[in-house]
Amino acid sequence: KRQDKESLLEEPSRPHRRNLAAFAGTSTLHGLAHICRSGQLGVRQALWALAFVASLAFFLYQAARSALFYLEHPHVTTLDEEAAQKMVFPAVTICNINRFRHSALTDADIFHLANMTGLPPKDRDGHKASDLLYPDPD
């Protein structure tokens, strides 16, 4: 019973190392998989760890430097409003990116789409269909 109690209280260090190696193998953090390979620490792993730590330190240095630079220089924005007497409406181009052919739609489809969008129904030529009526609202 003493062994069972000890085994429950003491966690072996091996599974944690395997979990770390599994995490590092599936991580998208570059270099981590090369550092946490199973087995003994070799020269290759030490070089990867050195490159990883150096890259992390350089990133943190640049991030802190950029944040301090941003905080040192206050930005002032001035806004001058000018009322225009006449404005020209800009040209608007509506591109049809619909992957369905308009010719493949039936009149019932067009009527249904018109009801969904709240637009008046139109026939294939773009004119209002006189025989189509909106259904009563629910």
- Measured distance CA(84)–CA(1) in Å, rounded: 90
For residue 137, pLDDT over 70 is answered with no
From residue 100, alpha-carbon distances to 5, 81, 82, 89, 103 in Å are 69, 45, 45, 31, 9
pLDDT for the residue 7:
54
Query: Cβ distance 24 to 45 under 8 Å?
Result: no
- Looking at residue 131, its amino acid is D
pLDDT for the residue 64:
97
Can you give the C-alpha Rg of the chain in angstroms?
34
Question: Each residue of 28-80: pLDDT tens digit?
Answer: 777 777 777 766 678 888 888 899 899 999 999 999 999 998 888 877 888 88
Record the pTM: 0.40
Question: Each residue of 79-134: pLDDT tens digit?
Answer: 888 888 888 888 887 776 666 676 777 778 878 878 887 777 665 555 455 555 55
- Measured distance CA(115)–CA(121) in Å, rounded: 8
DSSP 3-state of 39: coil
29: left (phi over 0), alpha (psi -120 to 50) or beta: beta
